[in-house]
Amino acid sequence: MDGMLYLYLTNAAMFVVIGVALLLVWRRHRSQTFARDMGRSTLFASLLAFGYLVHTEAAAPYGVLGLPLILAGAVGNLIFLASSVAQLAGRRLPRSAAIVIGVGAAVALLAPAPAAKLLFWPLFNLAVLMATGVLAMRWLWRTHALERLVGPLLILLGLNQLLLVFYGEQGVAASIFFATLLRAAIGTVSVLSALEGALRDAGKLAARFQLLTEHSVQGVVVTDGQRILYANPAVRGIYGMPLGQGNYVVFADLPPESFSDEQLQRQHRLLQEGKLAIANWEGRREVAGGRELELRFEAWRVEWDGVAATQILITDDTERNASARALVHQATHDKLTGLPNRTVLMQRLREYCYLADGSLHCTLVVLNIDRFKLFNQSQGHVTGDHVLKAFAAKLKEALGARAELIRLGGDEFAIVDPDEGNARDIAERLQSACVQAIKVPAGEYFIDASMGMAVFPENAGNAEALLRAANAAMYQAKRTPGTALAMAEQRFEQMSSKSLDNEQALRKGIRNHEIYLDYQPKIDAVSGKLLGFEALARWVRPGVGMISPVEFIAIAERTGLIPELGAMLLELACRQIAAWYAELGDCMPVAVNVSPMQLLNRGFLQLVERVLSETGIPPRCLTLEITESAAVDNLDDTQLQLQQLSALGIDVAMDDFGTGFSSLSMLRQLPLSTVKIDRGLIDPLPAPDAVAVVMAICQLAAALDLQVVAEGIETLEQAVAARDAGCHALQGFFYARPLTVADAGEWMRRQQAGADSGGLAGLLAG
């Protein structure tokens, strides 16, 4: 029995050594997973012998622990053995196969009677090992020679079980002996195969490294701090030197302008001492041929031929940085003139204003070429571009090196000078440059410019305010004909700010229906009866108060809001006419002013038709008043529109008659019903010369069958003179200021009741 004990212990010890060896191989080369499973299988196999010894030799009650050890060893051994073979063949053991092996082993060990265990267990073991060996021969036959041995060895290990089947207890010693030899052989084959696989993987990694580095556009250098141990072709291409070929190159022997030996050694030392995981630095290097490159370096610690080294990745950023600088230049400079743009202007102003210590001053001039849009229309954009370039060059030459010229866009430039005392000199230089002829291929041209000058901190306390002040001064200079320069004043900026503020408020006012209509009566010059009303737009801006119609109508025309505003006022007037018509059974004509922009809109006629249809008022109740300037500027289009309006039954009056030059000839061509004499001709009444002018207009109107309205009547004398000169209707403060809807309705009710309207006839009778 002592011999069997020795045999069991030898078997267990051998299996442990082989299993541990395989696990150590796997731990060093994790890709060799079959070695891990073969090691686990061998360690579990050692439990079989150890468990058998405990079961047979240990004193009660410890002997019962042997059976679980035997069961665990048997199940683990077979499952991991099968898994290892599958892993070696590049496959995975199915979970179902593992379950079948585990359950089968448990049944073969536990189910039979004690006397039959040496029959059922060897037969099951034989079946699993033979099947695994056959599969291994099939899967591994075309692989490496060592791996092909696994299948036959497993088959022999399976056949070894026949000793137990045929000889029972007498065959145990021989079976254990041969099993130990065969498992040792299988373990040895597995270890050698794992090492061979690890070498193959290392070769693949080396090949990949060489493939990556040899064909990389980035330079790769491996150094020990003093020498170049390896350099790929990209490094040779960057530096233009035969680096990394043949003997090691010492950094000290290389040109210092190409390699910073001191910096490289410092980074190498920090990496090797573990103070840095990755080092980054960059710099300009002069390489072969005198080229100066912008290089970026990234380094980390590696092992090279068993020695601690540093691998450096070198990137040539010369072209990328040049492209980035080109993009920055493009983003900050004007393409046509090459001058800095608005972005640069704000940077400069912030530098001077925000970084000022109280003693720093800055002069800003905003220059705008007058009527340059007209120049482009007449001469073409190509010539316009040539003029802009030539003008910019002339300004730059006149300013010299101290002041910086910037193009803000279009025909607008800015000049920044950090010297406040140089402002007068800059102004003189700019004005002198503007009066000189601009010579371009298409000819010679003279241009005018409007300039606004602002000084920091006198006119503004920050960059944005300084630009606003200079802009406001420039717009003030535009009021002066020819080349002009205006110094910034607070009132200029306030005017610009107020104008912009009113523009924004008007948009909200239209949307919020803040604009309404008052109605000023028109009185019959002879009878004094009410003939109709003129609808006058009014805007009470919240928080500000009444805004003059002259101001907000101009804003609406300038900002393109006039079609929207005009349509809203037309609808308001027509709805009020409809309300009076429903209340009184009749209506007084109401005149609504029409902007030139609104009249020439192709959709204006459809707008009028829609409003008349929606409100249901007779066309005779609506009169449209147009300005004389609108008719003069667009006679043909105006004539067509008025003909279409007349076809609808709408009367059209010409407002402000007598302020233009072509009025007399137009009266014959336009389908008008009324002319309104401008208040400028009424104010001088009853002066004889003024009476003569008004009388001539009335005689001409009579010949053309037109009614004449005199507006701006403020005194009895003016009323009498206008009536005697031939005016049919009178309008002005003498009769009534613009009335609210309620007061205008009261006038109409009094008229309908037959009461005297307080007109000229009543006054004369009094």
Query: Which of 631, 684, 620, 637 shows the shortest CA–CA distance to 656?
Result: 631
Rounded Cα distance between 653 and 666, Å, is 13
The per-residue pLDDT for 751 is 82
The per-residue pLDDT for 351 is 81
Helix (H), strand (E) at residue 617: none
- Whether the pLDDT of residue 722 is over 90: the answer is yes
**Mean pLDDT score of the chain, rounded to an integer?**
83
The per-residue pLDDT for 760 is 46
One-letter amino acid at 393 equals A
For the chain, the structural domain boundaries read 2-199, 216-321, 335-488, 502-755
φ, ψ (nearest 5 deg) of residue 110: -100, -35
Query: Which of 506, 495, 573 shows the shortest CA–CA distance to 536?
Result: 573
Q: Which of 272-276, 288-292, 577-581 has the highest mean pLDDT?
A: 577-581
The per-residue pLDDT for 764 is 41
What does the block give as tokens for 446?
């003279």
Mean predicted confidence (pLDDT) in 17-38 = 85
Least reliable range by pLDDT among 55-64, 375-384, 672-681, 706-715: 55-64
Q: Which of 101-115, 316-330, 381-395 has the highest mean pLDDT?
A: 381-395
User: For the segment 382-434, what is each residue's pLDDT rounded down to a tens digit?
Assistant: 888 888 999 989 888 888 777 889 998 888 999 898 865 677 788 888 888 88
3-state class (DSSP) for residue 5 = helix
- Whether the pLDDT of residue 765 is over 50: the answer is no
Q: Tell me the percentage of the chain whose pLDDT exceeds 70.
A: 89
The per-residue pLDDT for 670 is 84
Protein fold of 502-755: TIM Barrel (3.20.20)
Least reliable range by pLDDT among 221-230, 252-261, 721-730: 252-261
Distances (CA, A) of 541 to 511, 536, 571: 13, 16, 21
The per-residue pLDDT for 360 is 66
Confidence of residue 46 (pLDDT cuts 50, 70, 90): confident
User: For the segment 54-65, what is each residue's pLDDT rounded down to a tens digit?
Assistant: 777 766 676 667
What does the block give as tokens for 65?
């622990």
Confidence of residue 115 (pLDDT cuts 50, 70, 90): low
- Whether the pLDDT of residue 590 is over 90: the answer is yes
CA angle 337, 367, 463 (to 5 degrees): 95
Q: Helices in 89-161 by DSSP H: which ranges? A: 95-110, 117-140, 145-148, 150-159
Confidence of residue 493 (pLDDT cuts 50, 70, 90): very low
Rounded Cα distance between 571 and 560, Å, is 19
φ, ψ (nearest 5 deg) of residue 423: -60, -45
The per-residue pLDDT for 90 is 83
- Whether the pLDDT of residue 558 is over 60: the answer is yes
Confidence of residue 761 (pLDDT cuts 50, 70, 90): very low
Distances (CA, A) of 124 to 112, 137, 403: 12, 20, 100
Pairing of strands 674-677, 707-711: parallel
The per-residue pLDDT for 211 is 66
- Options 3.50.50.60, 3.90.1170.50, 2.40.50.220, 3.30.70.270; CATH for 335-488 is 3.30.70.270
The per-residue pLDDT for 766 is 31
Helix (H), strand (E) at residue 557: helix 549-559
Q: What is the model's pTM? A: 0.48
Contact 412, 368 (CB under 8 A): yes
Mean predicted confidence (pLDDT) in 464-473 = 85
Least reliable range by pLDDT among 365-369, 493-497, 589-593: 493-497
Mean predicted confidence (pLDDT) in 232-253 = 75
Place of tokens 């007209």: 374
φ, ψ (nearest 5 deg) of residue 462: -150, 175
C-alpha dihedral, 619 to 622 to 627 to 632, nearest 10°:
10
The per-residue pLDDT for 62 is 67
Comparison of pLDDT for 334 and 248, the residue scoring more: 334
Contact 84, 41 (CB under 8 A): yes
Q: What is the CATH number of domain 216-321?
A: 3.30.450.20
Beta bridge partners of 193: none
- Whether the pLDDT of residue 314 is over 50: the answer is yes
One DSSP character per residue, 179-225 reads HHHHHHHHHHHHHHHHHHHHHHHHHHHHHHHHHHHHT-SSEEEEE-S
* Exposure string for 681-705, b = 16+ CB within 10 A, e = fewer: bbeebbeeebbebbbebbebbeeee
Q: How close are the terminal C-alpha atoms of the chain, in Å?
A: 159
DSSP state of 600: T
The per-residue pLDDT for 249 is 77
What does the block give as tokens for 372?
């340059």
The per-residue pLDDT for 72 is 85
Query: Which of 177, 127, 119, 187 shows the shortest CA–CA distance to 153?
Result: 187
Rounded Cα distance between 501 and 522, Å, is 35
Beta bridge partners of 231: 221
Comparison of pLDDT for 761 and 243, the residue scoring more: 243
**Cβ count within 10 A of residue 154:** 25
User: For the segment 332-376, what is each residue's pLDDT rounded down to a tens digit?
Assistant: 888 888 889 888 888 888 887 765 555 567 888 999 988 888 888
The per-residue pLDDT for 198 is 73
The pairs formed by 755-760 with CB atoms below 8 angstroms and a separation of 24 or more are: 756/528, 757/521, 757/523, 757/528, 757/529, 757/530, 758/528, 759/523, 759/524, 759/527, 759/528, 759/529, 759/530, 759/730, 759/735, 760/523, 760/525, 760/526, 760/528, 760/716, 760/719, 760/720, 760/723, 760/730
Q: What is the CATH number of domain 2-199?
A: 1.20.1070
DSSP state of 706: -
Q: How far, in whole angstroms, is CA 586 from its chain's centroid?
A: 61
The per-residue pLDDT for 461 is 77
CA angle 212, 218, 224 (to 5 degrees): 85
Number of helices (H), then strands (E), belonging to the chain: the values are 30, 22
CA angle 222, 223, 226 (to 5 degrees): 165
3-state class (DSSP) for residue 16 = helix
What does the block give as tokens for 582?
């429903």
The per-residue pLDDT for 63 is 67
The per-residue pLDDT for 758 is 45
Percentage helix, strand, coil for the chain under 3-state DSSP, each rounded to 5: 60, 20, 25
Rounded Cα distance between 229 and 249, Å, is 8
Q: Which of 236-240, 369-373, 569-573 has the highest mean pLDDT?
A: 569-573
Q: Tell me the percentage of the chain whose pLDDT exceeds 90.
A: 20
The per-residue pLDDT for 202 is 67
